[in-house]
Amino acid sequence: MELVRRDRPSLWKTVALILRARDEDSPAARALVVIVATLSVLLIMLLALARLGSPLAGGALRFFFMACASTFLTPLVVGLEAHRTRALNFLRVLPQPVATKWLFLLPGCAGGGAIALLSLALLPIPAALALLGCGCWAAAVGHAFAGRRVAMVVLVGWTLSFLPILATFVLYPMLGWNCAAAAALAFGVVGCLAAPRDRLMPLVSGSSHRAAACGTPSVPPSQELFARPGRGRARWTALRVFRLTAAAFPERPRQKVFGFLPMMIGLATFGTIMAWILPVLAMMTMMSLAIIAGSRLALAMSPAVVDFMSTRPVKRGSWMRGAILPWILLAAVVPCTALLRAGTAETMWRSELAQLAYPAATIRAALTPEPGERGARPQESIAVSPALRRLQIAQIGRMSILQLALFAGCAAAGLAERRGRRRDKWIAYGLVMVSMALMIGCWFPTPHRAWGPGPLWLVWLAAASCAWAFVRELRVVQQPSRRTRVDSRPRLPLRDRAR
Amino acid sequence: MTEVSARFSNVHKRFGDVDALSGLELSIPRGSVVALLGRNGAGKSTALRCLVGLERPDSGQLSVVGHEPLTLDVPMRQRIGYLSEDGVPFPFATADKLIRFCAPLYPHWSGALEQQILSRFQIDPRRKLRDLSLGQRRAVGLLLAVCPQPELLILDEPAANLDALVRREFLDIVLGLVGDDDARRTVIFSSHILSDVERIADRVAILHHGRLLIERPLDELKEQVRRLRLMFAGAPPERLELSGLLSLRRAGHEMRATVIGYDDDAIEDLAVDLHARVEVQQLGLEELFIDLVDDGDSAAAAAAI
């Protein structure tokens, strides 16, 4: 008996083993963890602020904020389970202190429990029940779409997951919280009953459609595909490099969400249009685009892709234009558009006045009634003064710099991780976190809070550091002598290896 | 004078505290099929990566098709085909997409060879690589390396983890490529599968601890390398200094020496000089390889050749 007990790893060792499992796609998975953690912290902070009576303190607004955040995050958290499938498959053949399924279920259950407690503390009971229904439905949708095609996950999965919120949004004003909660709970119950609970474990054991596809005999190639037009000369090489390197996705189906090119192009288009109309608002919502573009650049310049491209007869300029430039442009398009439109009076949405992150005293001064007037002036009646315009330009400029810093930091972290440069990776992740913190600081309605966006010199310092890290990693990619290969970990002394 | 396709001159490469290449000296004549053999970590992949410019040597000189690998321009790269041990890194790309990308980059892309490989491995070019079997994925990598009909083909463990049938198909394709005598194509490949090496290689280079132990035509190697079992009446000598000694092992009153370049007369003379009875064994490539690399003294002995 004792022998058996000694053979079993402890729960902590098991968890450590899972966390240490190195897969090809770990940078994006870790970036995802960082995003989820940051958003969770943000959620909790906002809830705490709401408790103190901030402008978000309205019950319905609080509910919809929590519901949207948890519905957005839940499928991602469910998706994280699949990122450790190799480690978990390995664990299945070892004697375990806990059943493997609990390694899946515990983190999600803990997160769900925390949200449930918070909702009970901050929301009326019917609203909390509605939130529970929304969460159950989102988790069920997450399970149902695990391992599906990207288009299905993005277009159908996420759309479906927001259905109970939509139902609540429609029912709450007309019939009140009780009806809305009943509808959301109905969604939750249906989701729980219909969720394919047996779907996840087969995914873990690797019996996905891929394995089935590999086992089936291949279809003989059709003859027309052998005819290759335009052999004579390579044209548009940079564009073709971009198309190919954009396909350098990691093996895991879940991360295709982040490499889904049409989705990113759509997001960039949407962001650009928004930046043209409402620059401040666009800058606040486009953080994800910078992170995704940075992670994609790291994938497009991963060691295997670099090896492939650098042994082909492709000019270095075309290669770099195809593999790097599009991602930089993608990250820069929204900030640049916003900067172009910054300071134009017609783009100043009135409610943005409250969102401009500059000293509260300035805002107060802007809203203070003229001598002789009674009470504060309504926002609609305030013309955008040149002083406010300058502040808007400063705000958009600050967020643009931070967006680009975020992009550069994410790209640097991904590049460093994919080359096994641990120290550089953690430095880059640190810079990413600083940039994110500064950016989140810019989001808060500072007229009511003491927490502002931080001093400008700190913004510039973060941006310069991220840019330095990015350029440094790119130089490593371009210089073979400085690359560190993953398989160059310290090995046994030569003599021992010979034996 | 023999034309050389690739040359390593005293090449050193270090990763951290590990010497991947320690003064590698190797010349690869044009038109030959050279197999690089060695244990895991012997430096085979590093040598090949240096050759295509993926690693910069710490010191020493390298040339490939007459140029320094790190400065190869586009026309030079068109003359070199390379298949890395990791294969093709685009699991979500179809074979067709990869071919469409690569084909216009090369002036002599062979559509016939492309068709041959696709049909031989039953690859549907419209399927994504991740949906293909391991053998088919490797075949796509091989296709991208051989269809340009390169003057120098470099394959890093092309047949690793493949079944015997697929390996045979691979080798047939490579043999078909080098069969054209006029083109005088050179193939350098690393492998752990010695039966494959015996089938297609005409020269063998064995690396150990980043150094070249021996490099010879395969036939010459098999003919000239012998294992001598030296049986002494008393205690064997402490040191045995022989020219052409590749490895040496002691076991009681016996010594087993793997030597090169000893004919029957030389062996008789040796027996007389050492006052020992000598048994001679002919070695196959596998035994030879094991004798050379499974011995801590072999590197020192090889240095004495």
Please tell me the predicted confidence (pLDDT) of residue A102. 64
- Orientation of helix A386-418 relative to helix A456-478, angle to 10°: 30
The neighbour count for residue B52, using CB atoms within 10 Å, is: 24
Q: Let me know the angle formed at the C-alpha of A212 by A210 and A215, rounded to the nearest 5 degrees.
A: 110
The DSSP 8-state label assigned to residue A54 in this structure reads -
Q: Å from A255 to nearest chain B CA? A: 12
Rounded Cα–Cα distance for residues A105 and A109 (Å)? 6
Q: B104 and A302 in contact by Cβ < 8 A? A: no
The closest of B194, B152, B195 to B174, measured between CA atoms, is B152
Please tell me the predicted confidence (pLDDT) of residue B34. 93
R_g of chain B, CA atoms, integer Å: 22
Q: Å from B60 to nearest chain A CA? A: 14
| Residues with Cβ within 8 Å of residue B189, at least 6 apart in sequence | B33, B34, B35, B36, B153, B154, B155, B156, B157, B158, B174, B201
Predicted confidence (pLDDT) per residue in A202-256, tens digit: 444 443 333 333 333 333 333 333 334 344 455 677 777 777 777 665 544 444 4
| More confident call, A286 vs A137 | A137
Q: Which chain A residue lies closest to B90 (C-alpha atoms)?
A: A248
Predicted confidence (pLDDT) per residue in A68-80, tens digit: 777 777 766 665 5
The neighbour count for residue B248, using CB atoms within 10 Å, is: 21
Burial class (CB in 10 A: 0-12, 13-18, 19+), A15: middle
Whole-prediction pTM: 0.65
The verdict on B305 touching A (C-beta cutoff 8 Å) is no
| Residues with Cβ within 8 Å of residue B104, at least 6 apart in sequence | A230, A231, A232, A233, A234, A235
Residue-by-residue pLDDT tens, chain B, 305 positions: 568 889 999 999 988 888 899 999 999 999 899 999 999 888 999 999 999 988 889 899 999 988 888 888 888 888 999 998 888 888 878 888 889 888 888 888 888 889 989 988 889 988 888 889 888 898 999 999 999 989 999 999 888 878 888 888 888 888 887 776 666 889 999 988 888 888 888 899 999 888 998 898 988 888 888 888 888 887 777 777 777 788 888 877 888 888 887 777 888 888 888 788 888 888 888 888 888 887 554 444 444 44
Q: B133 and A214 in contact by Cβ < 8 A? A: yes
The verdict on B133 touching A (C-beta cutoff 8 Å) is yes
Q: Å from B104 to nearest chain A CA? A: 5
| B105, B113, B133, best to mutate vs chain A, most A CBs in 10 Å | B105
DSSP symbols for A5-23: HHHSPPHHHHHHHHHH---
Please tell me the predicted confidence (pLDDT) of residue A353. 53
Rounded Cα–Cα distance for residues B135 and B118 (Å)? 12
Rounded Cα–Cα distance for residues A143 and A124 (Å)? 29
Arithmetic mean of pLDDT, A185-214 = 57
Please tell me the predicted confidence (pLDDT) of residue B48. 93
| A23, A209, A210, A225, best to mutate vs chain B, most B CBs in 10 Å | A225
Which among B19, B77, B101 has the least Cβ separation from residue A240?
A: B101
Helix (H, G, I), strand (E, B) or coil at A451: coil
A491 contact residues in B (CB cutoff 8 A): 18, 41
- Orientation of helix A59-80 relative to helix A100-122, angle to 10°: 170
Q: A481 and B89 in contact by Cβ < 8 A? A: no
**β-pair partners for B67:** B64
Residue A252 phi/psi, 5-degree rounding, is -80, 130
Burial class (CB in 10 A: 0-12, 13-18, 19+), A206: exposed
Predicted confidence (pLDDT) per residue in A259-294, tens digit: 456 667 777 887 888 777 777 777 777 788 888 888
Q: Which chain B residue lies closest to A226 (C-alpha atoms)?
A: B115
Q: A226 and B82 in contact by Cβ < 8 A? A: no
Q: Amino acid identity of A139?
A: A
Pairing, β B33-37 against β B203-208: parallel
The closest of B124, B120, B121, B117 to B149, measured between CA atoms, is B117
Q: A228 and B100 in contact by Cβ < 8 A? A: yes
Arithmetic mean of pLDDT, A142-153 = 67
The verdict on B126 touching A (C-beta cutoff 8 Å) is yes
User: Look-up: residue for tokens 């690797």?
Assistant: A206
Q: A480 and B55 in contact by Cβ < 8 A? A: yes
Q: Å from A333 to nearest chain B CA? A: 27
The verdict on B101 touching A (C-beta cutoff 8 Å) is yes
Chain A with chain B: Cβ pairs closer than 8 A: 141
Q: Which chain B residue lies closest to A238 (C-alpha atoms)?
A: B101
Encoded tokens for A321: 């234009």
A485 contact residues in B (CB cutoff 8 A): 15
Helix (H, G, I), strand (E, B) or coil at A50: helix
Encoded tokens for B192: 């752990």
Pairing, β B80-83 against β B152-156: parallel
Length of chain B: 305
Q: Amino acid identity of A168?
A: T
The closest of A356, A353, A355 to A368, measured between CA atoms, is A353
Portion of chain B with pLDDT greater than 70, in percent? 94
Q: A221 and B82 in contact by Cβ < 8 A? A: no
The neighbour count for residue B250, using CB atoms within 10 Å, is: 15
The closest of B289, B207, B297, B192 to B19, measured between CA atoms, is B207
Which among A219, A307, A313 has the least Cβ separation from residue B74?
A: A313
Please tell me the predicted confidence (pLDDT) of residue A268. 80
A242 contact residues in B (CB cutoff 8 A): none
Q: Å from A286 to nearest chain B CA? A: 27
| A306, A308, A486, A492, best to mutate vs chain B, most B CBs in 10 Å | A308
A315 contact residues in B (CB cutoff 8 A): 74
The closest of A334, A434, A368 to A34, measured between CA atoms, is A434
Q: Which chain A residue lies closest to B76 (C-alpha atoms)?
A: A313
Encoded tokens for B236: 């064997």
Rounded Cα–Cα distance for residues B7 and A238 (Å)? 33
Q: Give chain B as a 3 state SS string.
A: CCCEEEEEEEEEEEECCEEEEEEEEEEEECCCEEEEECCCCCCHHHHHHHHCCCCCCCEEEEEECCECHHHCCHHHHCCEEEECCCCCCCCCCEHHHHHHHHHHHCCCCCHHHHHHHHHHCCCCCCCEHHHCCHHHHHHHHHHHHHCCCCCEEEEECCCCCCCHHHHHHHHHHHHHHHCCCCCCCEEEEECCCHHHHHHHCCEEEEEECCEEEEEEEHHHHHHHEEEEEEEECCCCCCCCCCCCEEEEEEECCEEEEEEECCCHHHHHHHHHHHCEEEEEEECCHHHHHHHHHCCCCHHHHHHCC
Q: Å from A161 to nearest chain B CA? A: 27
Q: Amino acid identity of B81?
A: G
Q: What is the largest CA-CA distance in chain A?
A: 95
Q: Which chain A residue lies closest to B110 (C-alpha atoms)?
A: A231
| Reported confidence tier of residue A46, pLDDT bands at 50, 70, 90 | low
Handedness of CA A298, A300, A304, A309 (dihedral sign): negative
Encoded tokens for A8: 């079993």
Are B136 and B105 in contact, with CB atoms under 8 Å apart? Answer: no
The verdict on B53 touching A (C-beta cutoff 8 Å) is yes
Helix (H, G, I), strand (E, B) or coil at A389: helix
Average pLDDT, chain A: 68
Sheet strand arrangement including B4-15: B18-29, B4-15, B59-64
Q: Å from A95 to nearest chain B CA? A: 29
Q: B18 and A484 in contact by Cβ < 8 A? A: no
Arithmetic mean of pLDDT, A391-418 = 86
Q: B54 and A310 in contact by Cβ < 8 A? A: yes
Encoded tokens for B109: 């892309």
Q: Which chain B residue lies closest to A230 (C-alpha atoms)?
A: B104
Please tell me the predicted confidence (pLDDT) of residue A468. 92
User: Look-up: residue for tokens 């095609």?
Assistant: A149
Please tell me the predicted confidence (pLDDT) of residue A83. 53
Predicted confidence (pLDDT) per residue in B65-116, tens digit: 888 888 888 888 889 999 988 888 888 788 888 898 888 888 888 888 899 8
Most confident of A93-102, A259-268, A411-420: A411-420
Residue B231 phi/psi, 5-degree rounding, is -110, 120
Residue A196: pLDDT above 70? no
DSSP symbols for A312-371: SS--HHHHHHHHTHHHHHHHHHHHHHHHHHTT-GGG--GGGGGT--S-HHHHHHHHSPPT
Q: B119 and A490 in contact by Cβ < 8 A? A: no
Q: Å from A354 to nearest chain B CA? A: 46
